[in-house]
Every structure is written in structure tokens, then in C-alpha cells.
Structure 1
Amino acid sequence: MRLLALFTIACALPFHAQTSAFVDLDNLVSRAMKESGTPGAGIAIISHGKVVYEKGFGVTDVETQTRVQPETLFRIGSTTKMFTAAAVLTMVEEGRADLDRPIATYVQGLQSAIGALTLRQLLSHTAGLGDRGSRYGRHDDVALAEGIRALTPEILELEPGAVYSYSSLGYWIAGLVLESVTGKPFADAVADRVLRPLGMNRSTFRPLEAMTYPFAQQHEVSSKEAPRVLRPFADDAATWPGGSLFSSTSELTRFVLAFLQKGKLDGKQVLPAGVIQAMSQPHSAIPGGGDQYTYGLVASKDRGVFTLSHGGARVGYGSLIVMAPDQQSAVIIVTNRSGSTLPAVAQRAMGMVVPFGPAEPEPPVPSVIPEETLKTYIGTYAGGSWRITITQESGHLVVGFEGKRYPAKPANSGRFTTDGPLSDFIFVPGPDGSIRYLHVELRTLRKIE
């Protein structure tokens, strides 16, 4: 596999970008893993519709020292969302579900406010839901439905359809719609509609199935400790649609190749072209920049190149998929350390196969913000367990969070930063132009005072 990969990339790239470039990439991967305390990783690169590089690094388990291979399964965290979205959209293509009908049309027993949400809102993170996560829970197929039916109206923190706010919970609910319409457990419905047609025969949501194949254990690391295996294994079947797929670089490449080829793989149409089209179009603006969310992917413009990407950061694992559809090129990264995505590796690898232009200049940072503008930001913003207070002192904003206060300074693109835990945030206006929201760490909080 390694010799074949090197031969293929030698054919695909100019002479000067051949072997030495991939030796440099190997070295960068090793350094990045060491610096981040990542025990193992899998890397794959696709160039012009072909897999040109695929390699495992490090170990699946710091205790057994088993080597990572391209076939090794990792849990990919929120990168799972592109698979959940694809499976849901196959139902839409078949006419069995409508993106704009209330989901109560398909799922019985929901609280009325939740039942009024639509698949379009759920898949684009505009449903107004709070975000939720869980390390441990049940492992049976009925956990998803029972968990969603137990939700109360308080989980709706924003007006549905008003603004982007990242919520894994929205994907859990979309997964229940898939389950209800197909009459199959969520894990089986995704397998039938996406995984098996693509030949991703080992990819699964079920830990007890994943563990029968070459498998990377979950690891965590701290500044004072070496990477360690986490026990017990983290799992909650009620959260699977938002971030719990197990897969490998060798199987993830099949999904990415099909995506880049409008649903075709090995000469066959394995996913409807309409699914790929829907997942490639922006559906909601992400505050604080030019990025937009499609369904299960983030659409960006990077140095003149259109990209679609999603990362995953969950307990014990990390992942990142970046695709450049116009160039039919992509990078896939999976790791077995909490939140590790090796971004420098992704950037270097993409630069080897995509003709990026020069870096765009950063927008200027305003030296002075009018006091009348600062006054519009003052208030308390809340959502879930978050509560952030913005005040004004001597012509500057001060952020109150978790009992501490941090001076804020303006950054580019309308953002603000602090030296505290809230390093980057932006104020977001409502339809009438007045400031109604605070966007921080992917979430949007509502102004309550």
C-alpha cells in the first residue's frame, strides 16, 4: 500500500513535489503528534479524484503499542454529521421526507415546540436548540427515541430559523426522524443508505461491532501526564447521530471520493446526486466571517479555493475532513486523542494538492469604536449553562464570565477578543438591526437584558 501510494502520487504531482514533499509531510505528522500528545493517527490524501497517499502513524493503544494501519477504526466525532445528513437527504430525494415540514409529521410523541422544527433547521444548525453532550449513557437502540421524546421546551434557546448556533442535539433529532421514517434503528438506517452502498463495510456506530476489527483505543492527555487509555469506554447511543461513527481512512476515502464525483464511485451512482448538491450549498451563515454551514459541512473560501470541511472533537478521538470539490481533492485525518485534529498537517497536505492563491490580507482592526456602538453591545447574554455579561468602562467593553471579568478588545471582521477563556466572540444583530445575540465558540446566545 505504501509503495503504491508513493508511485501514484509521483504520477499525479509535478516532479519537484514528489518524494521529498511526502518525506517532509511524514516528518510534520510525527512532530505534530508528539507536540499534541497524540498516540496514533491515520492520514489520507486525494488528488484529482484518486487516493494518492494513505498511511497510519503511531499506535492504536499506548499499552499494547499496536501500530496504526489505514484499516484501523477510529471514532470520528462530529465529522459524523456529514453521514447523518447524507442519510436523511436520501429520504428527501425519495420523497419520503420534506425539509420544510414540521418533524411531528414523521415522529410521534414530541413536545409541540420541538415537533414544529424542520429538517432544514436541524441540519443547518438554525433550529435554536441548545447544544448538549454526553460521555456515558445507554447502548440500546431505543435510547435515541426515548431521549428525544423526553426533551422539554427549555431546550429551545433561540427563535427557530433566526440564527446559526451549532447544536449536536439537532442532529440527534434528525437521526430520530431517519429512524422513524425508515422503520429501522438509526445505526442500521445509515448503514443501509450510506455506508454499505459505498462499501464502507466495517464502519459502524456500534462499539461492540467496531471492537471486532483493528481498532484505536480512546486516549486523553494532560500537561502533566503522558497519553493514557480512557476507561471505561465512552458511549451513549442517544447521541450517535451527532458524533459517534467509527471509520478508517481506507473507508472514509470511499465517502469522499463519491462526494467529489457527485455520488458516483467505481463507475456506479451509489448516492443520489441531489444529496451531494444539497450538502454542497450554503444554508446558514456562521457569524464572524464568510463561512457558511451546508448540511453536515462548513463551506469556506480559502485563498481563492472553495472548500467543504468538518472536524470532530470528542472524548478520546479527533478527526478532520477537508474537501476542495472543484479540484476533486481532499485530506482526511483521524486520531485517537481527545480533540486532536492536527490542523498544521491538514494545511500542509491540502497545499500539496490544491493550487491555493496568496493569503488574503486580514481586514483592518478598528482603532476606535464609537461609544454609541459600544452601548448597543451592553447586556446579558444567556443560553444553557452559559451566562455572559457585557459592560462598558472608560470606552472599553468588559466581559463578565464565571465570576471573573476580562477587558475586551476589538479584532477584525467585527470580532472581539479577551485574554480569558472567551478568546473570540462577535455581536450579532437581529432582523431589525439591533444587537440581539452573542456568538461564541460556535454557539449563539440570546440577549436577555
Structure 2
Amino acid sequence: MPQCLARSLRGALRSRLGSVLVLAVASSAVLAPATAGAATGPAQDRTLQEQIDRFVSEPGGPPGVIALLRDGRGTRVLRAGVADLATGRRPQPTDHMRIASTAKAFSGAVALSLVDRGALGLDDTLRQRLPQLPAAWGQVTLRQLLQHTSGLPDYSQDPEFAATVSADPRHHFDSRHLLDYVADEPLLFRPGSRYAYSNSDNIAVALMAEAVTGAPYEQLLRRLVYRPLRLRDTSLPQGYRLPEPYLHGYDVSDPASPQDVSELLSASGAWASGGIVSTPADLTRFIRGYASGALYGKDVVREQRRWIPGASEPAGPGRNSAGLAIYRYETRCGVVLGHTGNFPGYTQLMAATPDGRRSLTFSITTQISATSDPALLKQLRTIEENFVCALLRDGRADDPHAL
């Protein structure tokens, strides 16, 4: 969800939530260093732990961080801060959370699985599959939607959509009609001519999948993604509630008075572009399967990995390139594939080696973007790159001056 929309919600948020938190407890919880295992792991992990401990204590930093690094030997869990400021409970791999725009990779998984089965083609157009959409958009292909080169205007930046959310953050949208907000607008550029990240793209991808199968997108997720990858705690809700237990997400624009925004927004307004709820454990299972191409054949994987210049939102670690609903993050230590995302209260990174054998999920409990706090985003990307280096066993991640 765009940061401009998050800003428009703050006035409503302050008036609705007031002083919900007991700040004397909350402040001490934010500043307290993580305790479990911080000094017992290898030197590399201790350095990473110190970095996330410092990160949660920064002004505007997240109240909580949890990272899962998985390789052939097992899973290492590093965490700092808390999952809930009110109770001081620590983050857990089984905590639910909003996965933000990493949900776009799930729509890619559905679409590319259907391509592998012959039900969809990467060059299928909106005119062919969704003739009810504006004729001016008709030449846009599935490939362009998945790679954000479609030129579709972003519905989430439409003033009417933003006004509806600001007036009633829990408004229940008809997810299948989110593109109606921009149906009177032309394409922003000739399809395929350039890259421009748009939340509209993945709404259209989900609608194409529904059109060719006759099945709801939620059912396709269960059939084509959740079951094959054994995702136990992942869902696409329509409402604003989160399953217990969950990582509480916060607006920390006023660091002295963080506001819990975990259940502020209805997921119906994000749907296939960012509405999925999952856990760090499930997100780890997903990215290991998705990055490796476990859900479809080699020909589809080859098409997915035709890279063009383009960054995820927010930008991931290192140099970013865009594939089909996946990004290539070229770090100083090597390459991982994945996706990022942000949403009021949450910022996410999931990444894995191209063979899926090593993976990282990195979840924080506030929204950080280039528009909200570019310096903090730069720091976050540096920390993420250090975690990638640890994942790839690069000794440079041990450098205490890496930040």
C-alpha cells in the first residue's frame, strides 16, 4: 500500500485509537535488547543480533523484528524487540502477520502454475481474458502484468479510493472491482515500454486466473500454492481481523506514542496485491518453493527469470532486477531471489537462493519506505544485505562496521 495513503490514515488513526498503549511499559519494551540466544550463537549471528537490537532502538525503528535463516542444517531464528508492546511478548515464527506486497509473489505462483498447465499463456491479453475491462487496456499481457510493465494506473493511488479508506479504514471493498477506481483512466505508457510498480497489476493477474478456471482466487491459492508447499497458516481474508497469535504492527511516526495498526485496515482493499496473512514459518516454506520453481516446470522458470531493471517496493537488498512476480537481489555476497512489501504496520522481505536450499525471511513491525524515511530504509537494506551474507556464509557479514 502506498505510503501516501498511510499518511492520510494517520489523522483518523489518532482520533480512533487515542492513547491505547501504556507508554511506560511500551517504551521500555522497545528499548530492551533481545535476550534469547543473543550471546550463544556463532560470532556471525551475534553480530546480526546486535544490528537488529540497535535497529529497534532507533527513533522510528520497528518495535519488533524476526528473521528466519534456513539452510540444509536447520533454521536459525533471530529476533529483537517485541511482538506486542502491551504485553512485551516476543516474536515467534508461528505469529501471524500481514505479508504486504510479498503477496504479489503468490499471485505469480498461481498464474505461472496455470501457464505450466496450459490454462493461461504469458502473452494472453486483457482483451482476451477480461473483455469487461476498459478497451484501452486490452493489449496488456499477463507477462507485462507480472513484470510491472503494463502501464495500468494504480488503483490504490486513486483519490476516491484513498478518501474511502481514510473515512473508514475497515471499509469492505468488492475486491473484484478494485480496478473500477481507475477504469476511466488511460494506460500510463505503452505496454512493455518501461517498468512501473503498480498494485493494479496483481489484481488483474488474479482476475485472469479466475476467468480461465472459473474458481475463486482464494480457492486457487489453496489448490495451487498452499497445499503443494504445505502452508498451514496462510490465508487471504476479506476483513480486518488477524488470527491469534499475531505480530502487532505499529505506526511509529510519533516514536513517543506508537499506535497499533494491526487491525486498522480491511484486507479487501489490497486482495491479490497485498492482502495475504501468513507467518514467518509459512513464508519461509513459500519462498523456498517459489524461488526454486518447485510449482512449475523449467520452461516457465526460464521465462520468469528474464530480468529487467526494476526494484521491488520497498527496494530490497543490493541491486534489484524484476522478473515475473519475483525479484533478483544482487548483493555483495551473491544473488538471492524474492520479494519485499510494506503495509501500514509491516515491512517484509523474503528471499532464497535460486535452488531454494537457503532462505531468509525478515519481518518488521512498522512500515518503512523511501518516502516515509529514506535514511531508515537505507539502514534496513544494509541490515538485510548483512543477513543475506550470513545466509550465503560470507565472512564479510561479520564486519561490525558493516552498517
Q: TM-score range by the shorter chain?
A: 0.7 to 0.9
Using the TM superposition, give the Cα deviation of residue 308 of structure 1 relative to its aligned residue in structure 2, in angstroms: 1.8
Q: 26, 42, 61: which one pairs with 2:66?
A: 42
1:213 lines up with 2:244 in the alignment: yes
Give the Cα separation in 2 of the matches to 1:285 and 1:260: 19
Using the TM superposition, give the Cα deviation of residue 279 of structure 1 relative to its aligned residue in structure 2, in angstroms: 7.0
**Structure 2 counterpart of 1:161:** 192
**Structure 2 counterpart of 1:332:** 361
Q: Indicate the SS of the match to 2:360.
A: strand
Deviation by residue 1:158-182 (Cα, 9 ceiling, x = unmatched): 1111111111111111111122223
The higher radius of gyration belongs to: 1
1:246 lines up with 2:277 in the alignment: yes
TM-score w.r.t. length of structure 2: 0.73
Using the TM superposition, give the Cα deviation of residue 83 of structure 1 relative to its aligned residue in structure 2, in angstroms: 1.1
Supply the AA of the counterpart residue of 2:358.
S
**Structure 1 counterpart of 2:384:** 346
Q: Indicate the SS of the match to 1:212.
A: coil
The verdict on how the C-alpha distance between 1:89 and 1:303 changes in structure 2, with shifts beyond 3 A counting, is same
Equivalent residues, number? 335
Q: 121, 128, 133: which one pairs with 1:105?
A: 128
Supply the AA of the counterpart residue of 1:77.
A
**Structure 1 counterpart of 2:321:** 292
Greater Cα shift, 203-212 or 185-194: 203-212
Q: Indicate the SS of the match to 1:189.
A: helix
Kindly report the root-mean-square deviation, in angstroms, between the aligned alpha carbons of the 2 structures: 3.2
The verdict on how the C-alpha distance between 1:322 and 1:258 changes in structure 2, with shifts beyond 3 A counting, is closer
Q: 196, 202, 218: which one pairs with 1:187?
A: 218
Give the Cα separation in 1 of the matches to 2:331 and 2:46: 25
Q: 318, 330, 334: which one pairs with 1:305?
A: 334
The verdict on how the C-alpha distance between 1:218 and 1:327 changes in structure 2, with shifts beyond 3 A counting, is closer
Q: Indicate the SS of the match to 1:109.
A: coil
Give the Cα separation in 2 of the matches to 1:237 and 1:31: 35
Deviation by residue 1:272-300 (Cα, 9 ceiling, x = unmatched): 2348715751243339x974210122224
Using the TM superposition, give the Cα deviation of residue 123 of structure 1 relative to its aligned residue in structure 2, in angstroms: 0.5
The verdict on how the C-alpha distance between 1:84 and 1:219 changes in structure 2, with shifts beyond 3 A counting, is same
Identical pairs, percent:
25
**Structure 1 counterpart of 2:118:** 95
Contact 1:279 1:296 (C-alpha < 8 Å) held by counterparts: no
Contact 1:312 1:339 (C-alpha < 8 Å) held by counterparts: no
Give the Cα separation in 2 of the matches to 1:208 and 1:50: 38
Give the Cα separation in 2 of the matches to 1:231 and 1:46: 27
**Structure 1 counterpart of 2:29:** none
Query: What are the ranges of 5 or more consecutive residues in structure 1 without an aligned counterpart?
Result: 11-17, 264-270, 360-449
Give the Cα separation in 2 of the matches to 1:65 and 1:159: 51
Give the Cα separation in 2 of the matches to 1:60 and 1:207: 23
The verdict on how the C-alpha distance between 1:186 and 1:57 changes in structure 2, with shifts beyond 3 A counting, is farther
Give the Cα separation in 2 of the matches to 1:295 and 1:114: 19
Query: What are the ranges of 5 or more consecutive residues in structure 2 without an aligned counterpart?
Result: 1-35, 157-161, 312-317, 370-376, 398-403
Using the TM superposition, give the Cα deviation of residue 60 of structure 1 relative to its aligned residue in structure 2, in angstroms: 2.6
**Structure 2 counterpart of 1:78:** 101
Give the Cα separation in 2 of the matches to 1:172 and 1:179: 11
Give the Cα separation in 1 of the matches to 2:321 and 2:142: 17
Q: Indicate the SS of the match to 2:349.
A: strand
Q: Indicate the SS of the match to 2:325.
A: coil
Give the Cα separation in 2 of the matches to 1:103 and 1:184: 18
The verdict on how the C-alpha distance between 1:196 and 1:315 changes in structure 2, with shifts beyond 3 A counting, is same
Q: Indicate the SS of the match to 1:196.
A: helix
The verdict on how the C-alpha distance between 1:60 and 1:357 changes in structure 2, with shifts beyond 3 A counting, is closer
Supply the AA of the counterpart residue of 2:258.
P
The verdict on how the C-alpha distance between 1:276 and 1:33 changes in structure 2, with shifts beyond 3 A counting, is farther
Supply the AA of the counterpart residue of 1:303.
R
Using the TM superposition, give the Cα deviation of residue 344 of structure 1 relative to its aligned residue in structure 2, in angstroms: 3.5
Deviation by residue 1:184-241 (Cα, 9 ceiling, x = unmatched): 3222321221122211121112165962331123310124533221286112424211
Q: Identify the structure with the greater helix proportion.
A: 2
Contact 1:318 1:338 (C-alpha < 8 Å) held by counterparts: yes
Deviation by residue 1:324-360 (Cα, 9 ceiling, x = unmatched): 326832321112212277434322222223255989x
Contact 1:126 1:163 (C-alpha < 8 Å) held by counterparts: yes
Give the Cα separation in 2 of the matches to 1:122 and 1:110: 14
Give the Cα separation in 2 of the matches to 1:238 and 1:327: 31
Using the TM superposition, give the Cα deviation of residue 61 of structure 1 relative to its aligned residue in structure 2, in angstroms: 2.5
Contact 1:45 1:54 (C-alpha < 8 Å) held by counterparts: yes
**Structure 2 counterpart of 1:23:** 46
Give the Cα separation in 1 of the matches to 2:94 and 2:48: 20
Q: Indicate the SS of the match to 1:299.
A: strand
The verdict on how the C-alpha distance between 1:82 and 1:104 changes in structure 2, with shifts beyond 3 A counting, is same
Supply the AA of the counterpart residue of 1:233.
L
The verdict on how the C-alpha distance between 1:234 and 1:293 changes in structure 2, with shifts beyond 3 A counting, is same
**Structure 1 counterpart of 2:345:** 316
Using the TM superposition, give the Cα deviation of residue 154 of structure 1 relative to its aligned residue in structure 2, in angstroms: 1.6
Give the Cα separation in 2 of the matches to 1:71 and 1:231: 16
**Structure 1 counterpart of 2:139:** 116
Contact 1:109 1:149 (C-alpha < 8 Å) held by counterparts: no
Greater Cα shift, 91-100 or 108-117: 108-117
1:67 lines up with 2:98 in the alignment: no
Give the Cα separation in 1 of the matches to 2:299 and 2:57: 39
Give the Cα separation in 2 of the matches to 1:172 and 1:238: 10
